[in-house]
Structure 1
């Protein structure tokens, strides 16, 4: 009967060498990664939302009011500005349009919102997130802004730029924020 010990040894020796190489290489790679420095914020920033005061001047072209169980969903379509749509949530009421005007700070000057009505408002906002969908072929970007305000939940803008850095600059100018604040809030989708 032939002696199988040398063949078994030749079979397991390469496996042992590969295992030692993975162990040593993994240890080296781990030490290299852990030795890198990472940039961290100087201070803990929890629940700090950028506060802005946004002045808007637009023409109302459509108003959709959808009563639900606890709240009324309101979508306002606009024209003649970069702002294209506002979305509000207001408590259910018999006088929905007056409640909308109050939430937008228009009441008592404007008691009823009508089509082709020119509206000029200044709204304080707490920004949660900015989503920018860049439409390269069409040559514009759709910017959706989410807020933490009680009534005003979402604003949609159309900006005439497709470059990321220009979009950040225009967004910073629109909301009177620093570029750093915009970069913290914005996410991109390119199509």
Structure 2
């Protein structure tokens, strides 16, 4: 009889619901802990790697307006000034340890990536 009263009291207060909540919380806590451990322990096998340092940077083509070569025979040196149009650099300067026009044109062609005929048509020589 006393047992019946306690169940009626629990039922009237809603304790049947409130006593089940800690059990549900404990179940969720244990299952989430096991799931977290499993996720952290498993090996991470990544097959795709980031290759940022291997990609070559493409430079936009420069429009060369003029190339002025100042030859200094006493110093065996040539100073080259290149004027560009569509680049952030409006003027480029190079110094090459040669005074021979063919070698100067070849060096300019290598540095700018232009054909040698194009370089030859833009070059203006001066001597000091």
Structure 2 length as normaliser, TM-score? 0.51
Q: Report whether the alignment pairs 1:151 with 2:68.
A: no
For structure 2, the residue ranges without an aligned partner over 5 or more in a row are: 1-57
1:98-117 → structure 2 map (5 Å cutoff): none
CA distance in 1, matches of 2:59, 2:96: 20
Q: Which runs of 5+ in 1 are unaligned?
A: 1-120
Higher Rg of the two aligned structures = 2
Deviation at 1:122, TM superposition (A): 4.7
Q: Which has the higher strand share?
A: 1
Residue correspondences, number: 72
1:134 alignment partner, one of 41, 46, 71: 71
SS of the residue 1:152 aligns to = coil
Pick one of 78, 100, 106 that aligns with 1:169: 106
Distance 1:150 1:122, change over 3 A: closer
| Shift >2 Å, 4+ stretches | 121-124
- 8 Å Cα contact 2:62/2:87 also seen in 1: no
Q: Distance in 1 between matches of 2:112 and 2:87?
A: 19
Structure 1 residue 164, shift from structure 2 partner: 0.9
Q: Which of 62, 65, 88 pairs up with 1:125?
A: 62
Residue-by-residue CA offset, 1:84-131 (whole Å, 9 max, x unaligned): xxxxxxxxxxxxxxxxxxxxxxxxxxxxxxxxxxxxx95642111100
SS of the equivalent of 1:146 reads strand
Instruction: Go from structure 1 to structure 2 and tell me whether the alpha carbon gap of 1:142 and 1:124 turns closer, same or farther (over 3 Å shift).
Output: same
- C-alpha change, 1:151 and 1:175, in structure 2 (3 Å) is closer
